Amino acid sequence: MTILEVEDISKDFGGLRALANVSFALEEGSILGLIGPNGSGKTTLFNVITGFLRPTSGRVIFGGDDITGNAPYKACKAGIARTFQLNKPFSNMTVLENVMVGLLNGKEPVRSMKDARAESEAILATTGLAEKRLTRSGRLGLVDRKRVELARALGAKPKLLLLDEMMTGLNLREIEDVMKLVQGIRNSGTTVIVVEHVMKAVLGISDKVMVLSAGQKIFEGTPREVINDKQVIEAYLGEYQNA
């Protein structure tokens, strides 16, 4: 079943076209890897899907409903959650309180603070943050801040989770841990789109990969197909193969 349809999305910033007629459909229960050079439009596409930006043209259909241009809180209520490339936890709140915010304001808000705390504890156990649940988020290192961002997004109980460069800056072991975590999230029933520059990670967990270059979709296919596509190699993968 298709959970998300992006139809001919374009986004202009003055004279700059950041996205040009991008279309794709996402199957429920899958992981889509979204790759491309810096400035190719990946985060802009996330912002359009989640309502942070209104597209110049085109439509976003989620769960059969047209959500084009809806405010971010409406996207969250509909069942879409995301992380950000620049981590933005509530620095003066504890890790536990950050996750409780998601549970109190997501698609299916919990009915009491007691329930919010209990469910938050469970999410923190899943994301490896249980021992730091009472630590203020502003005191955490990069890896744990990324995990808080993810845990808070999971607190919204999303049907669709958008992850923006969760693995950038992590070492090999940390990347492998996050890969397992993302696969576990998918296995629990949440559909995932991953924007990532760590090729081992995105190719290792994705069912399909979509490639953007200069705001245009230049390829969509399996991980095996993407690494052998001449246009993708020239536009993006060549820099990794030649590194």
Encode pLDDT of 109-137 as tens digits. 787 888 889 999 999 998 889 999 999 98
The residue among 101, 136, 157 that closes a domain is: 157
Tell me: do 197 and 226 sit in the same domain. yes
SS (H, E, C) the chain: CEEEEEEEEEEEECCEEEEEEEEEEEECCCEEEEECCCCCCHHHHHHHHCCCCCCCEEEEEECCEECCCCCHHHHHHHCEEECCCCCCCCCCCEHHHHHHHHHHHCCCCCCCHHHHHHHHHHHHHHCCCHHHCCCEHHHCCHHHHHHHHHHHHHHCCCCEEEEECCCCCCCHHHHHHHHHHHHHHHHCCCEEEEECCCHHHHHHHCCEEEEEECCEEEEEECHHHHCCCHHHHHHHHHHHHCC
Encode pLDDT of 128-177 as tens digits. 899 999 999 889 988 888 889 899 889 888 999 999 988 888 888 889 98
Tell me: do 59 and 104 sit in the same domain. no
Tell me: do 138 and 185 sit in the same domain. no
pTM over 0.95: no
The answer to the question of residue 85 being in a domain is no
Tell me: do 127 and 197 sit in the same domain. no
The residue among 141, 157, 173 that closes a domain is: 157
Tell me: do 51 and 100 sit in the same domain. no
Tell me: do 150 and 164 sit in the same domain. no
Tell me: do 174 and 224 sit in the same domain. yes
Average pLDDT value over all residues in the chain: 90
**CATH code, domain with 9:** 3.40.50.300
Domain total of the chain:
2
For residue 24, is pLDDT > 80? yes
The answer to the question of residue 84 being in a domain is no
Tell me: do 204 and 236 sit in the same domain. yes
Tell me: do 40 and 110 sit in the same domain. no
Tell me: do 152 and 166 sit in the same domain. no
Structural domain span for residue 177:
2-79+158-241
Tell me: do 187 and 232 sit in the same domain. yes
pLDDT (0 to 100) of residue 209: 95
The residue among 116, 134, 157 that closes a domain is: 157
